[in-house]
Amino acid sequence: MHTAHEMSEWSAFSLHESILDAVAANVAILNDRGEIIAVNDAWVQFAEFHQLAVDNYGLSLNYVSFCESLDAADAVDAKQGLQDLLAGEPGPVRFEYQIFLGNDPLWTRMTATRIFRDDRTAILLTHEDITLQRRTQAALGRATAALLHAEDDERRRIARELHDGTAQYLTGAKLMLGAMKTEGRAEKIRLEVEALLANALDEIRSLSYVLHPPALEEMGLGPAIRQMAEGFARRTGLAVQIDIADDFPKMTRPIEVALYRVAQEALANVHRHAGSPRATIGLRQAGEMVLLSIRDYGVGLPESAQAIAGVGLAGMRLRLEFVNGHISLTNVVPGLLVEAWAPFQPKPAA
């Protein structure tokens, strides 16, 4: 354990030095002014390995002020959390943020806990390197998104086979039955078979459309979403207001598929969960981005549900992250607003 000589008044803390030095995480102790008064061996090794530009491993450094100087968006929140602890908040506080040491980005998890001795306050501060964990999570997210896009490709293949193969056979059978010139029972059977074949054709066409809507490939995202929303409104009775320009430009396939699937999932969620009689869906270009928005007028999303909003939301997020986009859910009065952003990438000319 390394301690600052000028902070000797804190040496009465009964913290066993060998225990702290055995901890794998970087550990520092801050006094009631937020200054570092002791660090463990792991902290020292980390400072030496990364050649940190701090004197004496940071001993005597005001760590609360130091947080503000870090090149990390969440470091300001960490500073505020430490100040709250020193002001008497019970804690502990935890933050995860990314810092850059040279050219290497590093993710760290900071945990700060208030400790006491003789009515004096100090903070036990630990830093854990979670870079590998974060990279693994990101890789898993990319892999999952790739699987979703592979699923879309497979849906596209199946839809084409159903449309170009099975549906054609059924159409031929229906035409042949229609040409039958019989009377009595044979005619009755013909009518029944014809009705069954017509139903089968409708189901196959519906399945083919859900798996891979031909409008998406033939006309582009704007008309495809309009067609999907109108069909959804007819099937469910939901009143859907559509705000999409007739001449909305075609974009690259990954962008269009991602936004189309988000629109499908969001409208399905309105029907299943929102308790809303109507919804609005819009699509517009916003600078270098394209914005898909879906709003309902129902119950909104409970605060407790936003972190665990289900597999549907996770799938939407992954699809958009795969194309460098993002999604937000905002409670409005009344209802919920879903906004999906993706880069605007026009489809190259053939």
Query: Considering only 8-17, 158-167, 173-182, which range has the smallest mean pLDDT?
Result: 8-17
- pLDDT tens, 64-76? 777 777 666 666 7
Tell me how far the alpha carbon of residue 12 is from its chain's centroid: 48
- pLDDT tens, 37-85? 888 888 888 877 777 777 787 788 888 777 777 666 666 777 788 888 8
Can you give the residue ranges of every domain in the chain?
2-129, 140-212, 213-350
Q: Is the pLDDT of residue 318 over 50?
A: yes
Q: Is the pLDDT of residue 305 over 70?
A: no
Judge residue 46's burial from the number of C-beta atoms within 10 Å of its C-beta, 0-12 exposed, 13-18 middle, 19 or more buried: buried
Judge residue 186's burial from the number of C-beta atoms within 10 Å of its C-beta, 0-12 exposed, 13-18 middle, 19 or more buried: exposed
- pLDDT tens, 234-249? 888 999 999 999 899 9
Q: Name the pLDDT band for 12 (thresholds 50, 70, 90).
A: very low
346 preceded by a cis bond (ω within 30 of 0): no
Confirm or reject CATH 3.50.50.60 for domain 213-350, answering yes or no: no
- pLDDT tens, 209-223? 767 777 888 889 999
Mean predicted lDDT score pLDDT of the chain? 79
22 or 299, which is more confident: 299
Sequence-distant contacts of 303-307: CB under 8 A, at least 24 apart: none
* Distance (Å, whole) CA 197 – CA 317: 40
* Distance (Å, whole) CA 246 – CA 147: 32
pLDDT of residue 340: 96
* Identical fold, 2-129 and 213-350: no
The CATH architecture assigned to 2-129 reads 2-Layer Sandwich (3.30)
